[in-house]
Amino acid sequence: MSKMQKMSKMRLSKNLNDKLAKIQTLNFKSTQVNDEKIVKKISNNESFQSSMKNTLSVAYAVGLFPIKGIRENQAIALSYNKLSVPSFLSLFTILTLLWAAILSLVHTIRSLLKVNSGKSGGFANATAGGIFYSNAFVSSCIFRKLASTWPNIMIQWEKHEKDAYPYPKLRARTRAIAIIILILALTEHMLSIGINTPTCRANILLGNSTLRECLKEYCLRSHSFIFNAVQYNMALGLFIFYVSKVATFAWNFQDLFLILTCSGLVAKYRNINNKILKTDIAASNIKDWRFMRELYTNCSELARDFSSMLGPLVLLSFTNNLYFICLQMLNGLAPSLQGPLHNAYFFGSFGFMVGRLICVALAAAAVPIEARRSLPFLRCCPASTYCLEIQRLGFQLTHDEVGLTGMGFFTVNRNFMLGVAGAVATYEVVLLQFDMGQTPPPTLTE
């Protein structure tokens, strides 16, 4: 049912966009000056697509974002083709992740059925792999879907960019965010590899350990559930190594993508707000305001399209992050006597995941805040220049529900973050009590 609904929604929002395009052609024809050259030159450097291209290229290479012309600066050069090489690469990635997800889910179900037999920490160990690979699989499907709508939405994005001329400076900021997050993710994953190869680590310092052995140790320790069914061999080991890297990248990329997209939207809104706030309100006329209202309406339209497009990703990202944060907290609170590297990994990984979630939430929560920023300014409009357009803009700013939602189940804003924090705290305490109830205190057995 939900799918059917979504489909009809997408179909209609397409109609709507076509219509919008028509309207805007009618309205803006007069304002289109021959500044296309300048625009093109600048957009090469500061357009949203251009600022995203490096990050998206990485995803493209991994097989998550199958778009032709991903390294172009302009939306018009992008295209999605089901029968192209990147599309087949993406299909291969999806199938690989599906295979890993099925194997790990089988392990999860088997372990859960055995949970009552008494081993502590069973729940966490049983589900972690299944959730991790399922998340990667769903994520790769969502990104394939996203890629198919990306060229159109980027054209939409660039359409009215020249009306709000001084472009937001996105490049530097986007690059900084992407590099920081990817480096942190890499560090976290290196630590995770380090933990899963204790023997190898010890031997490598002594010089008597080969990469081959390290790989074997890593695979057997971290993906033991696969080798319950199959025998280990070098090729399988390499394949598993590759799959786990792809899944880890998807795990990080879904959050990074959300952060960058939200930053872009905020920059677009900020651009319009700056235009509005720079207006000499006492000398403005109805035409100025009509222009600005239309700018704002277009931007909101774009934000709404993004919101409905990113809905499944937001839901996936929050569910996944909350699961791993709860898991890591449980692991962290349980006594672990396995040396400083483990401690570093646990604290580092936990901090990284909490930080990543907070970044996603703050970035998404910034959209509605920025969208509403010029509302007080409109209220200060003197009676002499107050007009219907200001009234319409004011009404729209007051009532418009801009902002990312997890498919309508929740809207991401700061208040929601407080709620999530409270819920995590509550569940953590309950889970801890549960855990303490299950493990008998060691003093009683002595």
Residue type, 289: W
**Residue whose tokens read 């939207």:** 265
Q: At closest approach, how far in Å is the CB of 399 from a copy of itself?
A: 5
Distances (CA, A) of 46 to 41, 54, 374: 9, 13, 24
Task: Tell whether residue 373 is a contact of a copy of itself (CB under 8 A).
Answer: yes
Nearer to a copy of itself, 38 or 430 (CB): 430
With CB under 8 A as the contact rule, the residue among 205, 211, 229, 380 that binds a copy of itself is 380
Q: Would you say the C-alpha torsion 414, 419, 424, 425 has a positive or negative sign?
A: positive
Shortest distance in whole angstroms from residue 34 CB to a copy of itself:
24
Helix (H) and strand (E) counts for the chain? 15, 0
- Encoded tokens for 138: 């769903």
CB 200 to a copy of itself: min, Å? 29
Binder among 221, 304, 348, 354 for a copy of itself (CB under 8 A): 304
Q: Tell which one of 30, 34, 235, 382 touches a copy of itself (CB under 8 A).
A: 382
User: 329: Cβ–Cβ under 8 A, 6 or more apart, which residues?
Assistant: 350, 424, 428
Phi and psi, residue 78, nearest 5°:
-85, 150
Choosing from 32, 44, 120, 433, the residue that interacts with a copy of itself (CB under 8 A) is 433
Tell me how far the alpha carbon of residue 394 is from its chain's centroid. 31
Within 10 Å of residue 339's Cβ, how many Cβ atoms?
Answer: 10
Residues 146, 70 contacting (CB under 8 angstroms): no
Considering only residues 265-294, where is the footprint of a copy of itself by CB under 8 A? Answer: 266, 270, 273-274, 277-278, 281-282, 286, 290, 294
- Which range of residues in 63-71, 78-86, 93-101, 358-366 is near a copy of itself by CB under 8 A? 358-366
| Binding mask of the shown chain, residues 105 to 144, with x at each position contacting a copy of itself by CB under 8 A | -----------x----------------------------
Report in angstroms the alpha-carbon separations of 340 from 183, 335, 336, 344. Answer: 22, 13, 10, 6
> Mapping DSSP to helix (H, G, I), strand (E, B) and coil, where does residue 7 land?
helix
87 or 111, CB closer to a copy of itself? 111
Of 96-104, 130-138, 155-163, 434-442, the segment contacting a copy of itself by CB under 8 A is 434-442
Residue selected from 34, 229, 235, 437 as contacting a copy of itself according to rule CB under 8 A:
437
Query: CB of 158: closest distance to a copy of itself in angstroms?
Result: 19
Pick the piece of the chain touching a copy of itself (CB under 8 A) from 94-102, 129-137, 321-329, 391-399: 391-399
Q: Note whether 19 binds a copy of itself by CB under 8 A.
A: yes
The one-letter code for the residue type at 395 is F
As a whole number of angstroms, the distance between CA 376 and CA 374 comes to: 6
CB nearer a copy of itself, residue 204 or residue 358: 358
Tell me the two tokens of residue 218.
């890593």
**From the list 127, 297, 317, 349, which residue makes contact with a copy of itself (rule: CB under 8 A)?**
297
**Contacts for 188 with CB less than 8 Å, ≥ 6 apart:** 345, 348, 349, 352
Q: Return the number of other C-beta atoms located less than 10 Å from residue 126's C-beta.
A: 22
**Residues in region 403-432 near a copy of itself by CB under 8 A:** 407-411, 413-415, 417-418, 422-423, 425-427, 429-430
- Of 54, 362, 424, 435, the one binding a copy of itself by CB under 8 A: 362
